Amino acid sequence: MKKTLFIAITLTALACNGQTAKSHAVAKSSGSTTHSNVSVSVSDSNEVYSYSAIFDKPKSKAAINEIEKAFGKPMTEGKNYVWREGESLEIKAREGKISIEFEKGSTKLYDKVKELGESISAVVGEK
């Protein structure tokens, strides 16, 4: 009964919204002599791709280097490094934290942004 109700609610929600969304979040903690905490959240709907990562501060430079490889040198706003592509993409990074907000439109840019999220996750230790 619960499974049928869940399926009915899910189908109704999809029919009402006319979209699909994928989302996943991962949190890792490990420690022997060193402690490592990583939290990555990805949401990928028909209209928006968003990515958020919180990780150990020493990995910040490597993660920011990944963004610079894809999008060049950043602007600075306070403690944040910021990259923008028109009004559809904004990437913010600071020590131990990165967020990406992309309003879909360009498939080529979407592929580039999605690959960036995957490479940041690999660098900060999510995978």
pLDDT in tens, 92-101: 999 999 999 9
Report the mean per-residue pLDDT for the chain.
79
Q: Which residue has the higher pLDDT, 42 or 8?
A: 42
Measuring CA to CA, how many Å separate 87 from each of 49, 101, 103? Answer: 14, 10, 8
Confidence of residue 27 (pLDDT cuts 50, 70, 90): very low
Segment 58-86 shows an average pLDDT of 95
- % of residues, the chain, pLDDT over 90: 65
Report the C-alpha gap between 77 and 82 in whole angstroms: 7
Buried-state track 69-104, b at ≥16 Cβ within 10 A, e below 16:
eebeebeeeeebbebeeeebbebbbbbbbbbbbbeb
